[in-house]
Structure 1
Amino acid sequence: MTQAPLLSAPLPPGVLLEVASPGLDQGVEIAVVVPTFRRPALVLRTLASLRMQEGSSPFAVILVENDEEGRAGLDAARPLFESGALPGTIVVAQARGNCAAYNAGFAAAARLFPQLRIALIVDDDEAAEPGWIAAHSAALDRLGVDITGGPQIPVFEDESKRALAAHPVFRAPFEASGPIGVLVSSGNVAIRADVLRRMSEPLFDTRFDFTGGGDADLFSRCREAGFRFGWCREAAVHEIVPARRTEFSWINARALRNGALSTLVQRGRDGRARTLAKSLALALAAPPRSVIAALRSRSALIGLYHLQIAIGRLQGEFGRVGEQYRKPESN
């Protein structure tokens, strides 16, 4: 592996290089992107979990500060990078929004590490298990896929809400490792660098910056481009769930948003007529499905999810999508 001057690889407009660990090896083949926004204590938990990785090839961390004015995450993490305790860089994404942050991280990974083979994402409210990188890397090869996802295991601040782990908003979409049709969440994924090179920049559509759904849109486009997906049960992260996210108002808003986003993503792929037909079909099927789900789970809240998704899809038909990421304190 070779070393090169960090500043020899210019970043795109709107992405500022702030910190680089001393002696950073730009020949590493694995980069971990960590977007952060006003969660200094939690992002230190995330970075601590990356320092504990076992069985992985050498990797670099790209911390993406998405609050250019406050920079709380950057300030908290700076000593780790400047001391070399964590190899990598801190960049600032000047445009606010989760898609903008992801784009900045992947752009930095592609430009700063020319031998990049795998890029991973872990969010700043998550902590990766010690074998997380190694498990994703092995699954990509074992399954012969281009993108792998893994479980985001909820850790509820209010322990009395642990039963909500069975709710579709918090439950992993797959159980067993193996090939899958597509992913919808980017909170715990590994992506081959070939995907980054073939998909045009910006990778994530910034129209989804404050609604979420940029990940589902990206993965839908990746599937259309012929890329294959896999699920790696062993590559788990543990996600902090604040008490506010266990309230009915938040869960209801998230379910409605998920329904609306599925409409927008499908419309981009299948057109308005087919999307509307599916929305209407789901609306008709939702009441009995909700009753069955409530009886099986013994939870009216879980049962409501099918109705909420159907209503959300109809809202999406009229362009109504909740912006849960617009106000940081409510997301």
Structure 2
Amino acid sequence: MQSKPGTKSVSLLAHSPELAADVVDCVVTLPTFRRPQHLLKTLGSLAAQNTARRFVVIVIENEAEERAGAEAAAPLFARKEVEGLVIVAHERGNCAAYNAGWRTALEAFPSFRHLLVIDDDEIAAPGWLEAMCATAERLEADIVGGPQVPVFADGSTDRFRTHPVFLPPYEKTGGVPALFSSGNLLVSRHVLEAMEQPFLDLRFNFMGGGDSDFLSRAAQKGYRLAWCAEAPVHETVPARRLEADWIRARSLRNGVISTLVEKKKRAGERLGAPRVLGKSLALLALSPLRCLRSLFATGSVSSAMYPVYVGLGRVLAEFGYANEQYREPDKN
């Protein structure tokens, strides 16, 4: 199998034998980069799903040279412990990997209804897939998000659990106005068939935020969004991501992404750009008050500074600042 979702090819490395592509209900896409051991844990959690739905997994290896994740996963597919495909996306980057997996799903499995996304640092609860699909069907939602519950490398760091960087955006199941992350996501097939390609804008490839932009564009097109609180995935958070400089960089990045996504959303509007700038300046001006309010409520300086960094990131984006945290994955 060869296809070209970006500027370079996607190649098939492994597939489970006797795979009946035309009876697949759901496709789970799983991008991976230099986390072979955790990838196996993620695949194990998918193999243990409690559901009668016929689903397959597409592992998208984004390290085209060493391919450690793909090599670790391939035997599971050969033994049919997990059904699906292992592909290599030769073009580096977060968005390139997602695009390769989503396009492969459309090409390889003509009858699936739901595409789900999980990352290679996450573990799905046993009822994850069933809960996501059932919520989409019950609420007649086109796209469903779910919580990414942090599991910290140091058990003494539970104080970070309520930090805005790690806190899920919603608490209850139901329709929502916006979604922001693809780390725990369901997208209906008809959405993918209608959205322009590449699905995720490659300008966000090493920054992140391509998923937020995709979800914003889908909402603009009128697709219904929902949240499923009963479908958590547990995300392993390494100690590196609890350091002050990483949290500060992620907070600034979130502000940058917010501006870039809103600029695209208002690109066709009269005075759209000045409105985005005005909002950014207003948020930055108000951020000290929000900082003080958060400090009194939580006692956490790190949490309190979040709105300041987001506001600053929004304004810096107007001058071309971009924090590409995925450019050096070993430091992310």
TM-score using structure 1 length: 0.96
Counterpart amino acid of residue 286 in structure 2: A
**1:298-313 maps to which residues of 2 (within 5 A)?**
298-313=299-314
Counterpart amino acid of residue 174 in structure 1: Y
Contact 2:29 2:57 in 1 (8 A): yes
Within the alignment, does 1:159 sit opposite 2:155 as a pair?
yes
- What CA distance in whole angstroms lies between the structure 1 residues aligned with 2:62 and 2:213? 21
Contact 1:53 1:129 in 2 (8 A): yes
- What CA distance in whole angstroms lies between the structure 2 residues aligned with 1:280 and 1:138? 42
- CA deviation profile, 1:217-238 (whole Å, cap 9, x unmatched): 1011101111110000011100
Q: How far is the alpha carbon of 1:18 from its aligned partner? A: 1.2
Alignment correspondent of 1:3 = none
Contact 2:150 2:161 in 1 (8 A): yes
Q: How far is the alpha carbon of 1:16 from its aligned partner? A: 0.7
Within the alignment, does 1:25 sit opposite 2:17 as a pair?
no
Q: How far is the alpha carbon of 1:11 from its aligned partner? A: 3.0
Q: How far is the alpha carbon of 1:91 from its aligned partner? A: 0.6
- What CA distance in whole angstroms lies between the structure 2 residues aligned with 1:68 and 1:20? 17
Range that drifts further, 112-121 or 10-19: 10-19
- What CA distance in whole angstroms lies between the structure 2 residues aligned with 1:140 and 1:112? 23
- What CA distance in whole angstroms lies between the structure 2 residues aligned with 1:250 and 1:307? 15
Within the alignment, does 1:238 sit opposite 2:234 as a pair?
yes
**Distance change (3 Å), C-alpha of 1:81 and 1:233:** same
- What CA distance in whole angstroms lies between the structure 2 residues aligned with 1:60 and 1:319? 41
- What CA distance in whole angstroms lies between the structure 1 residues aligned with 2:242 and 2:20? 42
Q: SS of the counterpart of 1:325?
A: helix
Contact 1:260 1:321 in 2 (8 A): yes
Within the alignment, does 1:174 sit opposite 2:175 as a pair?
no
**1:280-319 maps to which residues of 2 (within 5 A)?**
280-319=281-320
Counterpart amino acid of residue 294 in structure 1: L
Alignment correspondent of 1:214 = 210
Q: SS of the counterpart of 2:325?
A: coil
Alignment correspondent of 2:3 = 11
Counterpart amino acid of residue 31 in structure 1: V
Within the alignment, does 1:110 sit opposite 2:75 as a pair?
no
- CA deviation profile, 1:74-125 (whole Å, cap 9, x unmatched): 0111110111111000011010001000000001100000002100000000
Contact 1:11 1:111 in 2 (8 A): no
- What CA distance in whole angstroms lies between the structure 1 residues aligned with 2:174 and 2:322? 32
Q: How far is the alpha carbon of 1:56 from its aligned partner? A: 3.9
- CA deviation profile, 1:147-187 (whole Å, cap 9, x unmatched): 00000000000112111010010011100000000101100
Q: How far is the alpha carbon of 1:25 from its aligned partner? A: 1.4
Contact 1:33 1:61 in 2 (8 A): yes
**1:85-234 maps to which residues of 2 (within 5 A)?**
85-234=81-230
- What CA distance in whole angstroms lies between the structure 2 residues aligned with 1:56 and 1:309? 43
Q: How far is the alpha carbon of 1:31 from its aligned partner? A: 0.2
- What CA distance in whole angstroms lies between the structure 1 residues aligned with 2:322 and 2:181? 17
Counterpart amino acid of residue 317 in structure 2: G
Contact 2:15 2:74 in 1 (8 A): no
- What CA distance in whole angstroms lies between the structure 2 residues aligned with 1:109 and 1:240? 26
Counterpart amino acid of residue 273 in structure 1: P
Contact 1:211 1:325 in 2 (8 A): yes
- What CA distance in whole angstroms lies between the structure 1 residues aligned with 2:173 and 2:247? 27
- What CA distance in whole angstroms lies between the structure 2 residues aligned with 1:251 and 1:63? 29
Counterpart amino acid of residue 307 in structure 1: V
Within the alignment, does 1:84 sit opposite 2:80 as a pair?
yes
Range that drifts further, 32-41 or 298-307: 298-307
**Distance change (3 Å), C-alpha of 1:207 and 1:56:** farther
Counterpart amino acid of residue 30 in structure 2: V
Within the alignment, does 1:35 sit opposite 2:36 as a pair?
no
Q: How far is the alpha carbon of 1:142 from its aligned partner? A: 1.2
**Structure 2: which 5+ runs fail to align?**
267-271
User: How many residue pairs were aligned?
Assistant: 323
Identical aligned residues as a percent: 47
Counterpart amino acid of residue 58 in structure 1: R
- What CA distance in whole angstroms lies between the structure 2 residues aligned with 1:323 and 1:224? 26
Q: SS of the counterpart of 1:102?
A: helix
Contact 1:56 1:131 in 2 (8 A): no
**Structure 1: which 5+ runs fail to align?**
1-6
